[in-house]
A and B are shown apart, each in its own frame.
Chain A
Amino acid sequence: MMGGPACIVIDTAKRPFDNYEPLLDALLAELTCLETRYSRFRTDSLISTINRRAGSGIQTEIDTEMSTLLNFAGELWAASDGLFDITSGVLRKAWDFQRGGNASPTQLAECLPKVGWDLVEYKNDAIYLPLQGMQIDLGGIVKEYAADCVAASIREAGITSALIELAGDVVVIGGQGNGKPWQIGIRDPDSSGSLLTVSLQDAAVATSGNYARTIKHNGRALSHFLNPRTGWPVNGPITVSVLDQRCLTAGAIATVACLKTDSHAQAWLEEAGLPWLMMKSCGTLIDTLTNPVSQRESLTSLQTLQLSH
């Protein structure tokens, strides 16, 4: 689901729960519904409808959920000085990610004018992309939002101890049934192991990264994160993990960090004030997670953390 495996663990040690089937059916329906609405890969999705109507003069009506996600994307666009831009997906056309080739300058020149959230004609109940070929892509936030929705539904079912993993992002509800925090490993991009393990209670950890640096330019490996202003890959952190109460905001902060250079990414993470871990482009690991004092100040719901490697 949502571009990766989904895993849900419900711990019934503290509070019994045996109504699994209706719950799983409801969760599956919820995820399917989100995918149907927001996937750019499905031609019948709301996103595809909006994109198809680009430049046609026809606006698309949207509901509160969609407009809220667009508002959130707009806030993130403004806060990141335009680096996080849901209209930047069109730039992918100019790069051959599969074969690691360079961009076609002609295609880049064609795509760049179609990028810019500020170009979008957007009201709370309708959206219209004014240029033919423009497109929006909520892929940068929908997976994390889906994890939050699943967590909310599980909470509403009365479950007080659960773990949800959706394509690499994790939300935990309460602690484990034995009262101890959940132990969540943050994946090491260079191995199958984890960079470190965090102990979480009622929190989410989202990771964004450039694990596969397939584009080579002047001998350097470049990321698949593209700067919407230049169309060029960003030479930023290899991976960033952020912890917050919501997976969506954690993921958004991590994604924007990956769109910045190492030093700007660190400043951004510090501005957000959430616990974070970053592997810089040179491979050096820096974080606030292994410092109990700064971690405590930044998110008191999280417990102490231990290095696992």
Chain B
Amino acid sequence: MFTRARRPLPETLERLVVAVAVTEPRNRALHPRSRLMRRLGNALAVLPAYQTIPAHADAPPAFTEVGLRYSRYSEDSLGADKWIFGSRGRYDIDITQFWIEGPIGANWSVALDIQNDYQTGASPWFVGTQQNGEPGVIMSGASIEDNRLEVGVTTRYFWADGNAGFTASHSDEDDYAATALAMDASWNTDDDSRTWSASLSSSEDTLTPTQGAIPVFVEREELDTQSAYFGVSQILSRTAITKVGLSYTYSEGYLSDPYKLLDARPETHERVALSLGYRQFFIAPDASLQIDYRYYGDSWGTDSHTVELGWAQNLSSHLITPYLRYYSQRQADFYTVIADTNARYYADDYRLSSFGALTIGARWAVALGDQWTLQLEAERYETDASWSLYSGAEAPALVNFWRGTVSLTWRYD
């Protein structure tokens, strides 16, 4: 039995977290102060006259929120026609999150976030050639088991026109440790129709890969990452809002995957992402259309486009949001289906290949009384090289997966 280094989650899963952050901003200022006022305010939310009420002065949340979320991410087994050796079963990840956030005095809030990821299964070790001449995957074996625990604390200060937060977090597992600091701020224009936001973050990671069933040629490596984000959201009308964001990330250090046999990546990685979001509320059906687009490009030659369409339908105390997402990626400059070890940089990681992906899913949220909210989400992700807007041979290890989430939130004054 051996553990493996922390690897980035599949690109789509990382992006999904970003999408959730964009579509569900925490609009603290509009939360009414008492249960009575929340109840009365909720009854009015559908009227256009109350959809342009400005955010007013930013204020800490008037309530304490406690939440628990569990997600299960489960990859399909590798197809027999793509497999050469090792386990055909792939990753399952159990993600458990707990958070608590509450006001401290008149101008501050404090939040604690704890996340535990438990991963089991196998991952591609390298790509070789099958007897029929087609590329096939040599898997790492079925006994990978790893647990990652991350703890983060955020303090936030609120003033009349905005708020600023400072976050410190640390994540630890057997073979990987990461410490990150982040600052963010947002401020509103005079008429409160526009909100500017910016953030800076920095992390220092240390890899100490575990020697196990497959040989690992790295003892200890480090990786530093800095990131900046700037965004603006603009209320366009009583029923429409848009958001634009631009981010830049720079990493320097060990960026290869120590648990892949044939993986030598550049020591630096620059990434830019442009995100656009639009929400249009329709009064008669009591629903909103959600459109998101994201462009991503990096110094490794990869770029991608993501388009997501969602329809958030209110039904009494329920909110049901089916969504459809399309993703298309261009392969990295140094990616080949079978790694070319004569090149300076090389990789056969399917996540760096050209592919397209479709995700279909739905979220269902229901308010249980005044204080509890239950949310369920399920999605299916399927990928295929031919769905990409870009050319490139198909990586045999392309993955399909299911993802399900259940969360329960409790708020009290």
Contacts and interface: CB of A to CB of B under 8 A. Distances in A.
Nearest to A76: B40
Nearest to A270: B34
Given A244-B37, A298-B33, A300-B106, A64 B49 contact: no
B37 A249 contact: yes
B15 interface: no
A297 B34 CA distance: 12
Given A155-B191, A202-B54, A301-B57, A68 B46 contact: yes
Interface in A85-101: none
B190 A272 contact: no
B20 interface: no
Contacts of B50: 148, 152, 246
B214 interface: no
Contact of B36 (A151, A203, A245, A272): A272
Interface string A275-309: 00000000000000000000011111100000000
5 closest Cβ pairs, A-B complex: A273-B34, A301-B56, A160-B191, A152-B49, A300-B59
A244 B47 CA distance: 17
Contacts of A75: 39-40, 43
A300 B57 contact: yes
B237 to A, nearest CB: 7
B102 to A, nearest CB: 15
B53 A245 contact: yes
Nearest to B58: A300
B48 A252 contact: no
18 contacts: A68-B43, A72-B44, A74-B43, A79-B39, A79-B40, A152-B238, A158-B191, A160-B191, A202-B192, A245-B56, A249-B40, A249-B41, A249-B44, A273-B33, A273-B34, A274-B34, A274-B37, A300-B59
Nearest to A271: B36
Nearest to B105: A297
B283 interface: yes
Interface SS of chain B:
loop
Contact of A68 (B44, B190, B237): B44
Contacts of A68: 43-44, 46-47
Interface residues of B, number: 33
Interface SS of chain A:
helix
Interface string A137-165: 00000000100110110011010100000
Given A156-B238, A274-B33, A297-B106, 18 more contacts: A14-B190, A64-B47, A68-B46, A72-B40, A75-B39, A145-B49, A148-B49, A148-B50, A152-B50, A203-B56, A245-B53, A245-B56, A248-B44, A271-B36, A300-B59, A300-B158, A301-B56, A301-B57
Interface of B: 33-34, 36-37, 39-41, 43-44, 46-54, 56-57, 59, 106, 158, 160, 190-193, 237-238, 283-284, 286
Interface in A241-266: 244-246, 248-249, 252
Question: What is the interface residue range for chain A against chain B?
Answer: 35 or more
Nearest to A147: B49
B41 to A, nearest CB: 7
A149 B51 CA distance: 11
Contacts of B190: 14, 160, 174
Contacts of A297: 106
A190 interface: no
A25 interface: no
A65 interface: yes
B36 A79 contact: yes
Contacts of A296: 106
Contacts of A145: 49
A123 B160 CA distance: 42
Interface in A166-215: 174, 202-203
